[in-house]
Amino acid sequence: MMGYVDGGLGTHEALLFEPYSDRPGDTGRWRPHSSNDPDPKTGDMEKLYGSFRPAWGLDSFRISRPSATGRVAETLGLFERILKERQQPLKGFRIVGAQMVRPEDIRRFRKLGVIAEVDPAPPR
């Protein structure tokens, strides 16, 4: 099972903790399945939690494209909640496309046993 949770960095849709350098005040957008806000500036992780919950009994669950710091952190928080609920390791759980990760979130990946599939930059 795979869930898609973030927008692209180039379109200023990926969720950041700090504003985009070329767009002061803009920290990205929430996706429709993780927000009830018509302008998607406010997230609703309960909505996201509920939409992905049926797949959490599976041994392979992927969250795709949480490319920026804010969404990676939110997704790891979601996985922490799943781990507490399941009471079993998150074997096979992964975040696909983690491009921008805070140092403290690298430790969270390790603690949770979640795999970070990083998209490498293409050669120049």
* Within-domain flag for 124: no
* Within-domain flag for 18: yes
pLDDT at 65: 65
The number of domains in the chain is: 1
* Within-domain flag for 91: yes
Q: What is the CATH number of the domain that holds 106?
A: 3.20.20.140
Q: What is the pTM of this model?
A: 0.80
pLDDT at 70: 86
pLDDT, average across residues 35-44: 79
In 21-73, which ranges are E strands? 62-64
pLDDT, average across residues 58-86: 79
Angle of CA points 67, 71, 77, to nearest 5°: 130
CA distance 32 to 36: 7
* Within-domain flag for 122: no
Residue 57 has pLDDT above 60, yes or no: yes
Range of the domain at 107: 2-117
